[in-house]
Amino acid sequence: MASRQPLPADDFGIYYVLAECTDHYDPFPANEADENQPHFQGVTGLRNLGNTCYMNAILQCLCSISPLVEYFLSGKYITALQKDCSKVATAFAYVMTDMWLGDSDCVSPEILRSALGSLYPALTKKTQQDAQEFLIYVLNELHEALKKYHRRRLYEKKSLPRCCRKMIASESSIITRLFEGQLNYSIVCLKCENCTYKNEVFTVLSLPIPSRYECSLQDCLQCFFQQDTLTWNNQILCSLCETKQETAVRASISKAPKIIVFHLKRFDVLGTMKRKLRTDIHYPLTNLDLTPYICPIFRKHPKYNLCAVVNHFGDLDGGHYTAFCKNSVTQAWYSFDDTRVSEIPDTSVQTATAYLLFYSCQPFSIPIQKCKS
Residues annotated as catalytic (active site), given as ranges: 53, 320
Quick one: CA dihedral 352, 353, 358, 364, positive or negative?
negative
Using CA atoms, how far residue 125 sits from 24, 57, 88, in Å, is 12, 18, 18
Is there a contact between 306 and 286 (Cβ–Cβ < 8 Å)?
A: yes
Residue type, 193: E
Alpha-carbon span 180 to 316, nearest angstrom: 28
Alpha-carbon span 346 to 156, nearest angstrom: 42
> How many degrees, rounded to 5, is the angle at CA 310 between CA 102 and CA 115?
55
Nearby residues of 293 by Cβ (< 8 Å), 6 or more positions away? 221, 225, 252, 253
Residue type, 231: T
